Amino acid sequence: MSERKVLNKYYPPDFDPSKIPKLKLPKDRQYVVRLMAPFNMRCKTCGEYIYKGKKFNARKETVQNELYLGLLIFRFYIKCTRCLAEITFKTDPENTDYVMEHGATRNFQAEKLIEEEEKKIQQEREDEELNNPMKVLENRTRDSKLEMEVLENLQELKELNQRQAQVDFEGMLDKYKDMERRQKEREQEEDERETKEMLERALVKRLRDSDSEDEAEDANERGRKHTADNPTDILTKDVNTGSQGSSSVGVKKQKLESWERSVGGLGEKRALGSLVVRKKPADSASKAASAAPREAADTQTGAGAAKPESSTASREQPITSQSGSSLSLLGAYTDSDDSNSD
């Protein structure tokens, strides 16, 4: 495999290159080359547009008997992409361009044709001035007049524009500065308004929080006061009249009267207080037991003597009941009943 990469060939000692036969090829032979369309063209057969830069596999040949300053001219053959009609064009070294020969027409050549026409007129004028000096003078005079007319027209146009459009640059700058100042003031006002709104929202939120805290504290205080009061305090409190209505006041009065009828007023002298007897100590109990036969004898002797004693007892019992509340006396009464039963 290493023999393929050998660059130096072996030449024998008796090698004579003149003896090698030369390959004879025709002068008008053609080569297949890959090229792009040098300009926009339109096929004459089908009307297909072929744009500049489209690639073709073209056949290339040398044009016979045509030279430009010793340079060869080449001809190319391509086929239309739609109808496969043959299109030919060749090089133009004189104008550094290509020339269409057959099968299509070149598009967008107006500018090129104008340039060629101007060049032709200029060349004819130079040839004419070369042989006729009077013609040179006439051409110079005509050119100077044309230049003066152009300058006059340009000056008139400038004056007309100045009269019609009088631009005050200082006024424009003042307006621009005024507009910038207004814009800054507007932005500042918007910023101040936004900050004010934010502060108001924060203040409202703070007030709401403080109100809710105060309400919670008031509720806690009311709960504490309610728990500290006795259950029966509601019966002794004065009922407020005015905004609550007469119906609620009447209901509370009825409850208070029913309680007083059943149990008795707190701290007041009632019939229930006369029925309650305070418990006596042990020595008083023994005295009462010794005095019992005596009282029985007195009751047998006469009913007239019993009446003053009962009146005096009824007079003494309310006095004793006034010293304490009726509820405490009721408890003492129940205790005395329990001791008697024992």
The reply to whether 164 sits in an annotated binding site is: no
The reply to whether 80 sits in an annotated binding site is: yes
CA distance 237 to 255: 12
Degrees, nearest 5: CA angle 201-204-208: 140
Measure Cα distances from 299 to 302, 308, 309, 312 in Å. Answer: 6, 12, 10, 15
CA distance 198 to 143: 79
* Helix boundaries (H) for the chain: 110-131, 133-164, 169-228, 233-236, 246-262, 271-275, 282-301, 303-323, 326-341
The reply to whether 46 sits in an annotated binding site is: yes
The reply to whether 43 sits in an annotated binding site is: yes
Residue 306 near residue 294, CB atoms below 8 Å: no
Residue whose entry in the numeric block shows the structure tokens 């430009």: 68
Q: Which residue ranges make up the annotated binding site?
A: 43, 46, 80, 83
Q: Which residue ranges make up the annotated binding site for Zn(2+)?
A: 43, 46, 80, 83
